Amino acid sequence: MWQIPKYKPQMKVPAMIFANQALLDKMQTDRTLWQCGNVAQLPGIYKHAITLPDGHEGYGFPIGGVAATDYTDGVISPGGVGYDINCGVRLLATNITDKDVRPKLSPLTDAIFRNVPSGLGSRRKDLTVSSRDLDTLAVEGVQWLIDQGLGWAEDAKHCEENGHMPNANPDKVSQTAKNRGLTQIGTLGSGNHFLEIQMVDKIFNPKTAKVFGITHEGQVTVMIHCGSRGYGHQVCSDYLRVMEHAVQKYKISLPDRELACAPGSSQEAKDYVEAMACAVNYAFCNRQAIMHWVRQSFQQVYGQDPEKFGLKLVYDVAHNIAKMETHDIGDGVQKKVWVHRKGATRAFPPGHEAVPEDYRSEGQPVLIPGSMGTSSWILVGTQKAMELTFGSTAHGAGRMMSRFAAKRQFWGGDIKSNLEKRGIAVRAASPSVLAEEADPAYKNVDMVAEVSHQLGIATKVARLTPLAVVKG
């Protein structure tokens, strides 16, 4: 734990960095710490501005940033959520082992690559969503898709927010955002989004793992990482412009215009929250549709009902979101706050009412994806997270170098052949996306998980390693 004290008079709270020396050294090569200090200047911020071990420079807030502001006297900042609203991760557990899947790994990866649209401009022609449908799914979330036959009845209960964030209002979403979202539901997208067939490499907490449906090493899992696509990106763009006017209207003093915000009680903030909730629900639906096509792919390749393979949803977590929550802001005082999590995972403890009932004895599953070809992690939320980080922990490895720099340094063909030599099947929409997502472009996810574990803000349950990678 590293503290940046209130060295500027405008800082309302200190900034806290949760990292080991190596991760901190990397943060000091860009604007991460400067941005964290800026977040500490937001009106109504409580306790401290937070940068998690995967932190790196972002828009306004660092990615890997958390801040809690007073529900009425604080502000809401779209930069504290990010452009890819509810970019998140969904994990499925199967009842088969890596030995069972290897003979069929190549055709299964082909089927998933064929069934799940990936890359810019890709879409499924058999999923047509009308404008009215789009507004409905933005309000109802995954239940709407389940009702359309794209999912199982129990899927919703294992999603954060039950796959449905309340107060979504499509009237607050621009027509431009809706037009971008119409054709992108059920698409993986490009960049760091991926779909992996994985296996359980090591179990660290057998009791919790079993409750989550992770029963043995070698067990096959499937991880889906994507967000709200152009729909959420446009919501963010639209409301950053709104917030820039709000800053002037409410005479808010900010160290960086990228932190544009509005008072939580203002109409501008309420409008943004209602639009953001639509994008959150869109992203839940996006991952739900992709999960349905993964199950379908197993059925096509094995010629058997997908239920035979388990393919149960372990959990779906949001990584970019702002929520009204109640937290201890110090000295045992409980307050309603807006928790901004930007590149951060909610990590609620055992007994918390927001944790699914069948997991409540253990705590909330935390899913931390690694970079392509490296491990991913299942952790579990803790009481310590509630005390230190407003119930949050890291969301991934975090970038070491920009996409442009990675493309200059690596060639996609080399990346693909190196992964295949290790027995990992690879399907990608283009070689360039493999180059920009090369493993050395990211921090060591095992180190990030270890820092979270040592701090106690989310502790290790199981480590997953890839068998097949599908990239946009």
Q: Which residues are catalytic?
A: 395
Query: Which residues are paired to 2 by β-bridges?
Result: 17
Left, alpha or beta for 165 (phi > 0: left; psi -120 to 50: alpha)?
Answer: beta
468 by DSSP, 3-state: which? strand
DSSP string for residues in 173-221? S-HHHHHHHHTTTT---STT-EEEEEEEEEES-HHHHHHTT--STTEEE
Report how far apart, in Å, the C-alpha atoms of 319 and of each of 289, 421, 429 are: 19, 32, 24
d(CA 273, CA 271): 6
d(CA 113, CA 196): 11
d(CA 37, CA 48): 10
Contact 308/318 with Cβ under 8 angstroms? Answer: no
Distance of CA 462 to the CA centre of its chain: 18
Residue of 50, 315, 322, 42 lying closest to 165 (CA atoms)? 322
Contact 333/403 with Cβ under 8 angstroms? Answer: no
Residue of 373, 321, 25 lying closest to 168 (CA atoms)? 321
d(CA 331, CA 271): 33
Count of C-beta atoms within a 10 Å radius of residue 25: 10
d(CA 449, CA 321): 21
What single letter denotes the amino acid at residue 188? L
